[in-house]
Chains A and B, each alone.
Chain A
Amino acid sequence: MTTEQVNPAPRHDNQDPALFGQTPSQTVGPFFHYGLPWKGGADLVGQSEMGARPELFPEEHYVLNLSPPRGAVSGEVITLEGVVYDADGKPIPDAMIEIWQANAAGRYASPDDNRAEIPLDEGFVGFGRASTDETGLYRFKTVRPGAVPGPGNSLQAPHIAVGVFGRGLIKRLVTRVYFEDASQNAEDPILALVPAERRDTLIARKVGGVWRFDIVLQGERETVFFDV
């Protein structure tokens, strides 16, 4: 004879229907490097290994695959980089940056962008992930995005959506990169929502052939972060 094993009495936890709702955000902590950023994750157009920091754990524990090689991508290839700073102006060596963007033609590689008249690039997803190095620097290689539709009949200036994670960040901070020489910036419906004196924290500047976008989490010249 066997006795049927039964579950313990229900409790207040993840499975309680009365608590059903959005899973709360928690920090990535300082030790995410062997689990999240993968080799090639910060190179949206090529086959380089940018994005990971394999020196932070033994080689035999790199279990994440290298990005498979991708096809040709149209548009202007750019480097986007910057330093992430804390309130004391100190660079943050354990932050992680994610980007999401349209291709050069202004189309998102997403089932929710169904504008079939605008071409997709077979080799371009538009999502990237980079970890900051010991000097707080992150770097992406990508293409300069095209303009995309905004609310109503408006057009959004070319931009890259950015998510910031790290030790001490309980939830993602969201910002955007715009390009200093883009004529559409003046008409951009999102930039228009930002107080004029803070708008330039969202503008990347071309320095020595590289687009520079520092991210200041707090203090003087604090980057504008969005409630999305």
Chain B
Amino acid sequence: MTLILPYAREDAGQPPSLFPGYASTVARSPRQPLVKIPHTLTETTGPAGQWENLMGSSLADLTAQHKGTPQGQRIVVSGRVLDENGRPVPNTVMEIWQANAAGRYIHKKDQWDAPLDPNFTGAGRVVTDSEGRYQYVTIRPGAYPWGNHHNAWRPSHIHLSLLGPAFASRIVTQMYFPDDPLIEIDPIANAVPMPYRDRMVSRFDIETTKPNWALGYLFDVVLRGRDATPTEDDHHDD
């Protein structure tokens, strides 16, 4: 007998795997129904707190990884990682990657005609504190064109990857910026129905804006939480 505290399931704000407006999903999403399984020890455990053993220390300033200063608008992004019951998720890793100010990734397969920045990689990693707080410094990424349809442009976004406490709490998302008109016509953002799409839009914040230095943006990440009532998986049939 093992005490299992299952996690909540996906809520209404999660996108479908198949969203034809995002053309690549058509051949890369399953057609058979998913098989629903109970949460076992496999799904309720995870490598919480072991990231430094796996991947090394945090990299919270994406503007200080090279000799010079990267081009672009310097920003400070901060917020909390919470579970959906509002509880902070401490000591959890958030991985960060993004394009540069011109909207170009350092990746060799990104070949569109915008300049690379030798002083900007666009990869970082932070660990939340005991109250689930994090902060990192970067530059605001640019929008960029992509091949999904004629004249398709992705809105400015920062990719975020979180594992949280368990296999079941894993999430990869994208953070968008307020007042970006491209969000409304972006198929990837639009795979998430309204009003839930707005959960991915950060907020400009004067309190965390550093005078004469950097604009502040707030973004909380909300992971799946444990179900309210623990179920003891005792068997009653004998």
Contacts and interface: CB of A to CB of B under 8 A. Distances in A.
Contacts of B50: 109, 125, 127
A34 B107 contact: yes
Given A36-B95, A57-B108, A190-B37, A24 B199 contact: yes
Contact of B219 (A14, A100, A151): A14
A176 B142 CA distance: 38
Interface in B98-144: 99, 105-110, 118, 121-125
Which bracket fits the contact residues of B?
35 or more
B174 interface: yes
B32 A222 contact: yes
Nearest to A111: B48
A193 interface: yes
Interface stretch (A74-82, A85-93, A206-214): A85-93
A168 B25 contact: yes
Given A16-B198, A19-B196, A127-B46, A35 B218 contact: no
B214 interface: no
Contacts of A36: 95, 97, 161
Given A21-B196, A38-B55, A152-B234, A87 B108 contact: no
Interface string A130-163: 0000000000000000001111110010010101
A88 B27 CA distance: 7
B33 to A, nearest CB: 8
Contacts of B202: 13-14
A72 interface: no
